[in-house]
Amino acid sequence: MNSNKITIKTGEVAELRWAVIEDAHDIAVMELESAKYENREEPIVISEEDFTRYWQWRLHSNECPTVVVRGEKMLMGFLSFEKNIKDGFIMALYINPVYMRMGVGTILVGTAENLVRSQHGKGLYVDVEIRNLNGLSFYKKLGFVEDGMASYHLIKMYKEVNDA
């Protein structure tokens, strides 16, 4: 995937690209700050400094291929795969609250679909907190269906990705 210029609903132009190590701090902060919107059963308990180091490792090791949408002034959102893109498991999708409902999440999930499809994967998978009603609604709007429970507090969701 090359870097692409996109326009979100506010009319702002942003860059859609692969994350680099220099994005680690912004990614860590966004995940820590946005987690409160998920109504998590198990909160994230880690310092910003340690989480930034963890994200640096994730990005350096390619364990979590990550796509970002970055505006002129800040990170708008990111999506991370768990290991192999072809497997289609979305490990993390976080949107800066300022940019929620502005199309950033839809752009990131659409990009994920295209990446999985390009590697002949079968679908996208994501686990969503059972109490994250906004997240569940978002994924359903994009065509995901519930596919059982991943654990007592996580709903498994799936979307088939057809070859073009």
Q: State the pLDDT at residue 84.
A: 87
Boundaries of every domain in the chain:
4-160
Q: State the pLDDT at residue 63.
A: 87
Residues 133/44, Cβ–Cβ less than 8 Å = no
Using the CB atoms, write b or e for 19-48: b if 16+ within 10 Å.
beeebbbbbbbbbbebeeebeeeeeeeeee
- Tens-place pLDDT, residues 104-162: 999 999 999 999 999 999 999 999 999 889 999 999 999 999 999 988 889 999 999 98
Predicted confidence band at 164 (pLDDT cuts at 50, 70, 90)? low
Which tokens is 12 given?
């702002």
Which tokens is 110 given?
């659409």
Predicted confidence band at 33 (pLDDT cuts at 50, 70, 90)? confident
What is the CATH architecture of 4-160?
A: 3-Layer(aba) Sandwich (3.40)
- Tens-place pLDDT, residues 61-96: 988 999 999 998 899 999 999 988 999 999 999 999
Backbone phi and psi for residue 162, each to the nearest 5 degrees, phi listed first: -90, 150
